[in-house]
Structure 1
């Protein structure tokens, strides 16, 4: 079971490198984040995703994001 708070903090702090995607088991999209990290776009998306992760309840998070 993946932690909502861990995923949210990783997305906010290291989202530009896709670390939160690797943590959630989404390796393919994590590699895409790494390939485009130099553009800054993944950092913005990671910040938004981190906020979304942290605003969900634990059950919503597990159902939507952590069920790989």
Structure 2
């Protein structure tokens, strides 16, 4: 179920980035992340204003991205539905969490490592870039493990 919800969101973001690529999206994304990283913890309105400003500047791109997202998702649901309904490995979920919510320690909480998850939260309040870096290291570690190694490592923790 989670995969069916996340798939359109991920496809939409990829399509939107693809449509914006020619306008220096990576530079803009780096500046945006630099501006947000220290402020998101204290003030979520900055994130809202950044997104609303983007929507106001690029409404056509967003409509095109939504249409392409709908077409791609319908095609994927029709042709790959059995793969989507198959149970995902917990290692893949941990990789996803480490990449997108690792700065909050979500992957550590998911793995049952409550102490390390709390440590990630504390470090993120002190110096957020460190937890982003550490969570990406965890994601790379999980990527290069197979499911059996991952299961054994998590059980031993």
Same fold, TM exceeding 0.5?
A: yes
Q: How many residues align?
A: 66
1:28 and 2:112 matched: no
Segments of structure 1 that go 5 or more residues without pairing to the other structure are none
1:13-58 C-alpha deviation (Å, 9 max, x unpaired) = 1111100000000101101100111312111010010111011111
| 1: CA distance, partners of 2:146 / 2:116 | 23
Segments of structure 2 that go 5 or more residues without pairing to the other structure are 1-88
Counterpart contact for 1:17–1:34, Cα < 8 Å: yes
**Bigger relative CO (Cα 8 Å, ≥ 6 apart):** 1
Aligned equivalent of 1:15, options 97, 102, 107: 102
> For the pair shown, which has the larger CA radius of gyration, 1 or 2?
2
TM-fit CA distance, 1:12: 1.0
So what's the TM-score if we normalise by structure 2? 0.40
So what's the TM-score if we normalise by structure 1? 0.88
CA-based RMSD? 1.3
Query: Could you list the runs of 4 or more consecutive aligned residues of structure 1 that deviate by over 4 angstroms after TM superposition?
Result: none
